[in-house]
């Protein structure tokens, strides 16, 4: 990827002398941006642009060429790419639109691009993008005019949308945060977000923070793997969550929308900070310029009581606590405070102080206190105090660095002063205490993620994979879902706790099985075509005698024949009736189109029925993550021994979820797995019903 950002030279293809020509703008941007290498221009009409000849073809350029930028009608591109390939170019940026984002019948054209790329070992960005930018060397390839000179910062941008890429760049510039490398990825036909992220995370020295905007994922599993290892904060705005948004995203860059809850879970597992707006994105960039917020203890200092109250409120809403300050320290501060009218506590209201040096003392006291993890300082001033306030900001910056703790500085000043501060202080300034607290929460979240992040532990149980494979293959071959007995067989192979059961095809077998298992038993229809057994009355509980079992078998068989005709071979499951007290939970798997196997956990009963109270995680996952998903559901307290009951054995529950996760990884052809209900209590767990859909 590095050669996209640091080419020796660039050839722009699609340049003419016409004033509305977009290729022209690319050449202008490169030259005005101060790109130090050669910039060549190619276009069929020839001519001259900014003193350079426009060659009719790349073949007419005798120098070795490094990077091509193409902005010509879509249909012309395969041939132009081929010419590039023959001229030895291995990196291309295709900005032209008119591919799959425009119409499905352009998929063939996209395939041509891929074929040429393969033939010549070319990597290309786009199509349907505004290109690649590197502020370090002035490599500016967009076809729209850019404002301002490139000033390299430490924030790199990967965006599916060109418009959003430009506005991130603009916002970063307005905030004097500045971008480093910016890529508009467009349709991501060849180079995708994972390719670029891997480069920015692992190789690129100029990048310290990564901002991403995506409408769909190209290879979500790879993206997660890269992010999990990243030491650089990754902030992502993933859009396209609503219906209309998804419709436009599809037409815009042919994005594949995935279920938003799965996206949330997967990003959290990968340590990617998700934002919902551009404002939040910029706010988080600010906080990641500061040392991390390592704990929950926050100090708040403000010049107005009201702002202190607002800051304290919002800090608590974001999960922080405000410990009291040590009395002896406060006594020292109090000496400086006129009249003693103000209560020194946390939040601290320094009131109508005129000597700003007290702020320095206070900040020193707070940041050197090992009980405090970070600070919000709300300050407001007019012109008369601007010099003193600028000095204060300098000191605060030094103290924050010295103690390795974040100080979120909220300055309530006018636009002009704010602009001055942005340009002259390399220290982030937050708009309001609400933004500051929310950003500190993100900082802490990422810090915590990295602290507790552990590797996956290989699955320990020995599974007879061949036996499981045979069962699945049999169902696949017959083009049906596995029977309940087959599901239970597979669950048993994976060590999941299944009550005793036998698969029977006759009344006699049923009675024998019931006797062997021991009554009472449950009798269930077990014909793969019937997915919702209860709906057809296909489950009979609490059968206590051989006679009852026999009668129930006959009744079920007759009912099924009434329903499906006599041709269907009837079979049933005789199962031990579990008579322990416990809570009903649901364990499930869904093969997500984007993220692959996804694990689901929830409580049964009203929790599932009315509240959709479930948690999700993408597989693979470790025990920590499984415990997290159990604790995340709203009804979790119902498992911890409310009303004098013994708490459920969470370790057993976690084991079962991990086993199910392994099954989901091993057999991705099983699209859905429902273990519903699973009964759990302090002694163990029992899978009472199961369903696999292929």
Give, as ranges, the residues between 610 and 639 that touch a second copy (CB under 8 A).
610-611, 634-635, 637-638
Which among 141, 201, 204, 206 has a CA at the least distance from the CA of 178?
206
The Cβ-side half-sphere exposure at 7, using a 13 Å CA radius, reads 27
Are 58 and 175 in contact, with CB atoms under 8 Å apart?
no
Query: Under rule CB under 8 A, which residues in 38-97 are in contact with a second copy?
Result: 97
One of 606, 624, 641, 669 touching a second copy (CB under 8 A) = 606
DSSP 111-173: HHHHHHHHHHT-EEE-SSS-EEEETTTTEE--SS---S-----SEEEEESSHHHHHHHHHHHH
DSSP 378-409: EEE--GGGHHHHHHHHHHHHHHHHHHT--EEE
* Stretch binding a second copy (CB under 8 A), from 159-167, 366-374, 479-487, 659-667: 159-167
Are 536 and 559 in contact, with CB atoms under 8 Å apart?
yes
Query: Under rule CB under 8 A, which residues in 409-428 are in contact with a second copy?
Result: 412, 414-415, 418-419
Examine residue 605 and tell whether it contacts a second copy (CB under 8 A): yes
Examine residue 365 and tell whether it contacts a second copy (CB under 8 A): no
Query: Under rule CB under 8 A, which residues in 193-252 are in contact with a second copy?
Result: 213, 215, 237, 239-245, 247-249, 251-252
| Least distance between a second copy and beta carbon 483 (Å) | 27
Closer of 86 and 352 to a second copy (Cβ)? 352
Examine residue 694 and tell whether it contacts a second copy (CB under 8 A): no
Query: Under rule CB under 8 A, which residues in 634-693 are in contact with a second copy?
Result: 634-635, 637-638, 642-643
* Stretch binding a second copy (CB under 8 A), from 50-58, 276-284, 386-394, 671-679: 276-284
Closer of 365 and 611 to a second copy (Cβ)? 611
Are 543 and 552 in contact, with CB atoms under 8 Å apart?
yes
| Least distance between a second copy and beta carbon 310 (Å) | 5
How far from chain centre, in Å, is Cα 464?
34
One of 104, 121, 147, 466 touching a second copy (CB under 8 A) = 147
Q: For residue 290, report the phi and psi dihedrals to the nearest 5 degrees.
A: -105, 165
One of 7, 85, 126, 162 touching a second copy (CB under 8 A) = 162
Percentages helix, strand, coil for the chain, rounded to the nearest 5? 45, 20, 35
Closer of 51 and 145 to a second copy (Cβ)? 145
Q: For residue 130, report the phi and psi dihedrals to the nearest 5 degrees.
A: -110, 15
Are 368 and 400 in contact, with CB atoms under 8 Å apart?
no
* Stretch binding a second copy (CB under 8 A), from 158-166, 203-211, 446-454, 588-596: 158-166
* Stretch binding a second copy (CB under 8 A), from 2-10, 112-120, 447-455, 601-609: 601-609
The Cβ-side half-sphere exposure at 536, using a 13 Å CA radius, reads 20
Burial of 345 (0-12, 13-18, 19+ CB in 10 A): middle
| Least distance between a second copy and beta carbon 637 (Å) | 5
Closer of 352 and 401 to a second copy (Cβ)? 352
Closer of 80 and 312 to a second copy (Cβ)? 312
Which among 67, 60, 69 has a CA at the least distance from the CA of 25?
69
Return the residue matching tokens 């109270």. 613
Query: Under rule CB under 8 A, which residues in 330-349 are in contact with a second copy?
Result: 341, 343, 345-347, 349
Q: How far apart are the first and last CA of the chain?
A: 39
Closer of 319 and 518 to a second copy (Cβ)? 319
Query: Under rule CB under 8 A, which residues in 173-192 are in contact with a second copy?
Result: 173-174
Q: Label each residue of 446-504 as H, E or C.
A: HHHHHHHCCCCCCCCCCCCHHHHHHHHHHHHHCCCCCCHHHHHHHHHHCCCCCCCEEEE
How many chain residues interact with a second copy (CB under 8 A)? 91
Closer of 180 and 280 to a second copy (Cβ)? 280
Examine residue 535 and tell whether it contacts a second copy (CB under 8 A): no
| Least distance between a second copy and beta carbon 237 (Å) | 7
Query: Could you give the string, one character per residue 298-327, with x where binding to a second copy holds by CB under 8 A and - elsewhere?
Result: --x-xxxxxxxxx-xxxxxx---xx-----
* Strand 685-687 with 672-680, pairing: antiparallel
């Amino acid at each position: 990827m590095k050669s996209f950002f640091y080419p020796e030279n660039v050839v722009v293809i699609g340049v003419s002398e016409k004033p509305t020509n977009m290729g022209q703008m690319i050449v202008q941007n490169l030259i005005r941006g101060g790109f130090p290498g050669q910039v060549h221009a190619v276009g069929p009409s020839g001519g001259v642009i900014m003193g350079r000849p426009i060659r009719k073809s790349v073949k007419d350029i005798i120098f070795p060429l490094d990077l091509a930028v193409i902005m010509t009608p879509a249909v012309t591109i395969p041939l132009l790419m081929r010419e590039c390939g023959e001229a030895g170019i291995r990196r291309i940026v295709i900005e032209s639109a008119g591919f799959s984002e425009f119409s499905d019948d352009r998929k063939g054209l996209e395939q041509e691009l891929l074929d040429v790329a393969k033939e010549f070992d070319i990597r290309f960005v786009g199509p349907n993008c505004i290109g690649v930018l590197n502020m370090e060397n002035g490599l500016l390839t967009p076809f729209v005019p850019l404002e301002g000179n490139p000033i390299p910062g430490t924030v790199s941008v990967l965006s599916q949308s060109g418009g959003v890429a430009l506005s991130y760049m603009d916002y970063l510039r307005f905030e004097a945060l500045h971008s480093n490398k910016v890529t508009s990825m467009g349709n991501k036909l060849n180079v995708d977000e994972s390719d670029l992220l891997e480069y920015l995370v692992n190789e690129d020295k100029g990048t310290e923070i990564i901002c991403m905007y995506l409408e769909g994922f190209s290879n979500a599993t790879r993206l997660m793997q890269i992010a999990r290892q990243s030491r650089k904060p990754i902030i992502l705005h993933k859009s396209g969550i609503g219906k209309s948004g998804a419709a436009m995203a599809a037409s815009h860059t042919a994005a594949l929308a995935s279920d938003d809850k799965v996206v949330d879970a997967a990003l959290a597992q990968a340590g990617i900070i998700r934002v919902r707006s551009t404002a939040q994105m910029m706010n988080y960039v600010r906080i990641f310029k500061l040392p991390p917020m390592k704990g929950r203890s926050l100090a708040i200092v403000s010049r107005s009581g009201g702002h202190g109250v607002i800051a304290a409120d919002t800090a608590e809403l974001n999960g922080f606590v405000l410990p009291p300050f040590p009395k002896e320290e406060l006594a020292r501060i109090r000496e400086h405070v006129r009249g003693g009218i103000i209560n020194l506590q946390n939040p601290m209201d320094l009131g109508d102080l005129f000597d700003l040096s007290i702020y320095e003392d206070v900040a020193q006291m707070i940041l050197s206190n090992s009980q405090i993890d970070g600070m919000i300082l709300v300050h407001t001033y007019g012109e008369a105090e601007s010099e003193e306030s600028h000095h204060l900001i300098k000191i605060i910056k030094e103290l924050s660095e010295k103690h390795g703790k974040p100080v979120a500085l909220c300055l309530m000043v006018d636009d002009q002063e704010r602009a001055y501060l942005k340009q002259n202080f390399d220290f982030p300034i937050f708009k309001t205490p609400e933004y500051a607290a929310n950003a500190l929460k993100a900082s802490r979240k990422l810090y915590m993620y990295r602290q507790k992040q552990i590797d996956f532990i290989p699955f320990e149980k020995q599974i007879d994979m061949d036996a499981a494979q045979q069962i699945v293959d049999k169902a696949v071959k017959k083009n049906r879902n596995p029977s309940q007995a087959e599901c239970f067989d597979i669950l048993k192979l994976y060590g999941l706790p299944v009550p005793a059961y036998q698969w029977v095809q006759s009344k006699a077998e049923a009675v024998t099985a019931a006797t062997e298992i021991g009554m009472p038993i449950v009798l269930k229809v077990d014909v793969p075509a019937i997915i919702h057994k209860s709906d057809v009355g296909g489950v009979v509980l609490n059968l206590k005698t051989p006679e009852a079992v026999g009668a129930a078998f006959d009744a079920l068989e007759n009912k099924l024949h009434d329903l499906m005709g006599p041709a269907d071979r009837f079979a049933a499951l005789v199962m031990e009736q579990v008579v322990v007290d416990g809570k009903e939970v649901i364990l499930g798997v869904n093969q997500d189109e984007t993220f692959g196997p996804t694990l689901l956990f929830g409580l049964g009963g009203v929790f599932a029925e009315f509240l959709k109270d479930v948690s999700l995680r993408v597989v693979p996952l470790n025990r920590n993550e499984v415990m997290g998903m159990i604790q995340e559901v709203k009804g979790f307290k119902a498992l911890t021994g409310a009303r004098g009951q013994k708490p459920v054995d969470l370790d057993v529950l976690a084991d079962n979820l991990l086993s199910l996760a392994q099954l989901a990884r091993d057999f991705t052809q099983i699209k859905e797995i429902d273990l519903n209900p699973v009964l759990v209590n302090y002694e163990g767990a029992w899978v009472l019903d199961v369903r696999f859909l292929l």
